[in-house]
């Protein structure tokens, strides 16, 4: 298959994104939407098009169980209508009963983008004001800056123990010149993603654009690594230490008690590969591991950092295949689940979590994610913060907003006559996107009407843009009024804007 890079800025069609699903294992949102009690309009209209494990959150929502939503904003400029999608996603999850977190990624802006602290303070304030103006409830939710959140910093430090330079290098293209603070900001971002779970595991969703998926994958991976071990997944890695050995030994006991007829055996790859066998790895087990590594090499996979998890009497052909598949799909995580007990994967994971928490671990659930399409720039191409005409800032003078919509490119035909005859190309029209993503709000009928009138040739671009421009102007006026109201109340909120 063609390789798809996670930089879909240039492409806005769902079919392009679909390739991305196949390669990275993101699910289509369609497959899950029925499980969401009252889907948001961005879900209903396919703007939110993909997910990783969102079922976990949808289930919690249906059962009135706790869940959380978190997303971060890098304060490098003014918030614009593209960011509004994420604001809306956070706010909606909060309204559905979730614990909501909005964070300002100031460390990242400072280290990766080189913004001064003064600039960051100003932008941070603007992001928070827009989030509040759009409906975020600060009494119920959490707003914070990375740099002043001590718990996040502590968690980042813990997670840093589980990540290493070569791994970050591979994901983020770091090299010998990359500064240490940049790496620190990446690990802080991982801590942000897991932060909603520091007081106890709960389903968490991170609404992001698809370009952010590598962060999500790394966070999911780290969440598993700080778990110490699973039950169907006894943990073995190059990095295990005495603590893990003790936990693995205990897992053996637990399992042996529960399944007296099974011979439980755990292979500790670290010990085996380093020639140390104190943790009770048997020769058979060692042989199993040897064959695993050989199979991997034969399949052209280099087990550079194998985390082989095996609880099995005899690792089978299928297990090897599962392992290879895991490598193919995740690239960096080399693990295989070999279920030899009558536990479902969920039950086993739940059990593992309980044991991990009993031992002072976090018991994190893998964070889940939803992915939204990027908005097309008003001038065509991608919407970019650095090209003012391509986007509408939430701080734009409402009249400028009006003008920008009026000068936007459209999916219209060259003449009115042709438009009446063939219809407009709403699917390629940035103005239609404005209707679908923002201007129609919750009103599906209105969005559908615009679409149908456009493709049916009843709608001409001049009038259509005029209507959109007026709606945009109204939206900005109203939004900015609400921002002002919040501005007056901002000091009463416990948010730290001065670095
Ligand atoms: Fe776009 Fe409206 Fe023209 Fe259709 S009629 S192409 S939606 S501007």
One-character DSSP codes across 146-215: GGG-HHHHHHHHHHHHH--HHHHHHHHT--TTS-HHHHHHHHHHHHHHHGGGTTS---EEEEE-GGGHHH
User: Ligand 1 centroid to 400 CA: how many Å?
Assistant: 20
- Residue closest via CA to ligand 1's atom 4 equals 454
Reported as a single tens digit per residue, the pLDDT across 226-275 is 754 333 233 333 233 444 444 444 544 554 555 444 333 333 333 333 33
Exposure string of 179-190, with b = 16+ CB inside 10 Å and e = fewer, is eeebbbbbbbbb
Q: Which helix (DSSP H) or strand (DSSP E) does residue 48 occupy?
A: strand 48-52
Q: What is the pLDDT of residue 3?
A: 34
Between the alpha carbon of residue 329 and those of residues 26, 99, 356, 364, 376, the distances in Å are 11, 31, 26, 22, 30
**pTM of this prediction?**
0.77
- Residue closest via CA to ligand 1's atom 7 equals 432
Q: Which helix (DSSP H) or strand (DSSP E) does residue 56 occupy?
A: helix 55-62
Helix (H, G, I), strand (E, B) or coil at 458: coil
Q: Which of 376, 406, 429, 470 to mutate to test the pocket of ligand 1 (most atoms within 8 A of CB)?
A: 429
Which of the residues in the chain have pLDDT under 50? 1-14, 228-249, 251-252, 255, 259-289, 292, 302-316, 319-320, 323-324, 326-344
User: Ligand 1 centroid to 408 CA: how many Å?
Assistant: 10
Shortest-distance atom of ligand 1 to CA 435: 7
Does any ligand 1 atom lie closer than 6 A to the CB of residue 224? no
Residue 259 phi/psi, 5° resolution?
-130, 70
- If you search the block for the tokens 């010990």, which residue do you land on? 271
CA 320 to chain centroid, in Å, comes to: 29
Q: What is the pLDDT of residue 208?
A: 92
Between the alpha carbon of residue 127 and those of residues 86, 92, 150, 395, the distances in Å are 11, 17, 21, 10
Q: Are 434 and 461 in contact (CB under 8 A)?
A: no
Q: What is the pLDDT of residue 276?
A: 31
Structural tokens at position 41: 């309009």
Does any ligand 1 atom lie closer than 6 A to the CB of residue 430? no
Class of domain 8-226+367-372: alpha beta
User: Given the DSSP bridges, would you call strands 99-104 and 27-28 parallel, antiparallel or unpaired?
Assistant: unpaired
Q: Which helix (DSSP H) or strand (DSSP E) does residue 372 occupy?
A: strand 368-372
Q: What is the pLDDT of residue 268?
A: 36
Instruction: Count CB neighbours of 369 within 10 A.
Output: 27
Q: Which of 408, 426, 427 to mutate to test the pocket of ligand 1 (most atoms within 8 A of CB)?
A: 426
Q: How is the beta sheet containing 48-52 ordered, strand by strand?
A: 27-28, 48-52, 368-372, 204-208, 68-73, 99-104, 142-145
Q: What is the DSSP letter of 8?
A: G
Structural tokens at position 85: 């999608």
DSSP class per residue in 385-445: TT-GGGS-BTTS-HHHHHHHHHT---S--SSHHHHHHH---GGG-HHHHHIIIIITTT-HH
CA 38 to chain centroid, in Å, comes to: 21
User: Ligand 1 centroid to 17 CA: how many Å?
Assistant: 24
User: Ligand 1 centroid to 424 CA: how many Å?
Assistant: 6
Establish whether this prediction's ipTM goes over 0.95. Answer: yes
Q: Which residues contact 397 (CB under 8 A, 6 or more apart)?
A: 476
Q: Which of 409, 451, 454 to mutate to test the pocket of ligand 1 (most atoms within 8 A of CB)?
A: 454
- Per-domain residue ranges for the chain? 8-226+367-372, 242-358, 388-492
Does any ligand 1 atom lie closer than 6 A to the CB of residue 423? no
Does any ligand 1 atom lie closer than 6 A to the CB of residue 426? yes
Does any ligand 1 atom lie closer than 6 A to the CB of residue 75? no
Q: What is the DSSP letter of 466?
A: H
User: Ligand 1 centroid to 479 CA: how many Å?
Assistant: 25
Does any ligand 1 atom lie closer than 6 A to the CB of residue 286? no
* Rounded Cα distance, 464 and 435, in Å: 10
Q: What is the pLDDT of residue 88?
A: 97
Does any ligand 1 atom lie closer than 6 A to the CB of residue 461? yes
Q: Which residues contact 110 (CB under 8 A, 6 or more apart)?
A: 116, 117, 120, 181, 185
- If you search the block for the tokens 């990540």, which residue do you land on? 163
Structural tokens at position 303: 């087990």
Exposure string of 425-448, with b = 16+ CB inside 10 Å and e = fewer, is ebebbbbbbbbbbbbbeeeeeebe
Shortest-distance atom of ligand 1 to CA 464: 2
Q: Could you tell me which of 250, 314, 247, 253 has the C-alpha nearest to residue 282? A: 314
Shortest-distance atom of ligand 1 to CA 455: 4
Does any ligand 1 atom lie closer than 6 A to the CB of residue 412? yes
Q: Which of 435, 461, 468, 469 to mutate to test the pocket of ligand 1 (most atoms within 8 A of CB)?
A: 461
- Residue closest via CA to ligand 1's atom 8 equals 461
User: Given the DSSP bridges, would you call strands 204-208 and 368-372 parallel, antiparallel or unpaired?
Assistant: parallel
> Which CATH code is given to the segment(s) 388-492?
1.10.240.10
Does any ligand 1 atom lie closer than 6 A to the CB of residue 378? no
- If you search the block for the tokens 């997670």, which residue do you land on? 159
User: Ligand 1 centroid to 428 CA: how many Å?
Assistant: 9
- Residue closest via CA to ligand 1's atom 3 equals 461
Q: Which residues contact 230 (CB under 8 A, 6 or more apart)?
A: 309, 337, 348, 349, 352
């Amino acid at each position: 298959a063609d390789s798809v890079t996670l930089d879909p800025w240039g492409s806005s069609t769902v079919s392009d994104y679909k390739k991305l699903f196949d390669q990275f294992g993101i699910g289509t949102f369609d497959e899950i939407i029925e499980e969401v009690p009252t889907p948001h309009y961005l879900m209903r209209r396919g703007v939110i098009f993909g997910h990783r494990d969102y079922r976990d959150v949808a289930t919690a929502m249906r059962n009135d169980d706790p869940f959380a939503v978190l997303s971060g904003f890098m304060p490098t400029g003014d918030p614009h209508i593209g960011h509004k999608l994420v604001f809306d996603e956070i706010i909606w999850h909060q309204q559905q009963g979730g614990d909501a977190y909005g964070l300002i990624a100031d460390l990242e802006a400072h280290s990766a983008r080189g913004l001064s602290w003064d600039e960051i303070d100003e932008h941070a304030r603007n992001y928070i004001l827009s989030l509040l103006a759009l409906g975020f409830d600060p009494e119920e939710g959490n707003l914070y800056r990375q740099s002043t959140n001590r718990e996040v910093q502590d968690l980042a430090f813990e997670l840093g123990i589980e990540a290493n330079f070569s791994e970050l290098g591979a994901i983020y293209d770091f090299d010998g010149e990359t500064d240490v603070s940049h790496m620190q900001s990446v690990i802080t971002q991982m801590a942000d993603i897991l932060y909603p779970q520091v007081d106890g595991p709960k389903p968490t969703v991170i609404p992001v654009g698809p370009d952010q998926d590598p962060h999500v994958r790394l966070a999911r991976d780290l969440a598993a690594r700080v778990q110490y071990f699973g039950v169907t997944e006894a943990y073995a890695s190059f990095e295990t230490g005495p603590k893990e050995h003790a936990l693995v030994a205990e897992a053996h006991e637990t399992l042996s008690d529960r399944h007296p007829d099974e011979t439980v055996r755990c292979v500790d790859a670290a010990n085996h590969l380093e020639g140390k066998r104190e943790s009770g790895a048997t020769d058979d087990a060692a042989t199993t591991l040897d064959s695993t590594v050989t199979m991997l090499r034969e399949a052209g996979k280099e087990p550079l950092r194998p985390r082989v998890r095996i609880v099995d009497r005899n690792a089978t052909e299928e297990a090897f295949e599962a392992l290879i598949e895991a490598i193919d799909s995740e690239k960096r995580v080399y693990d295989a689940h070999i279920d030899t007990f009558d536990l479902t994967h969920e039950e086993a994971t739940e059990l593992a979590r309980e044991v991990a928490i009993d031992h002072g671990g976090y018991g994190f659930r893998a964070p889940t994610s939803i992915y939204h399409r990027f908005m097309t720039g008003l001038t065509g191409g991608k919407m970019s913060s650095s090209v003012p005409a391509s986007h509408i800032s939430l701080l734009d003078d409402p009249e400028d907003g009006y003008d920008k919509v009026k000068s936007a490119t459209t999916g219209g035909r060259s003449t009115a006559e042709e438009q009446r005859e063939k219809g407009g190309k709403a699917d390629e029209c940035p103005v239609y996107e404005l209707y679908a993503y923002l201007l129609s709000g919750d009103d599906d009928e209105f969005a559908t009407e615009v679409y149908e009138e456009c493709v049916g040739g009843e709608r001409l671009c001049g009038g259509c843009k005029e209507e959109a421009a007026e709606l945009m102007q109204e939206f900005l006026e109203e939004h900015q009024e609400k921002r002002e109201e919040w501005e007056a109340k901002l000091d009463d909120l416990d948010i730290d804007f001065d670095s």
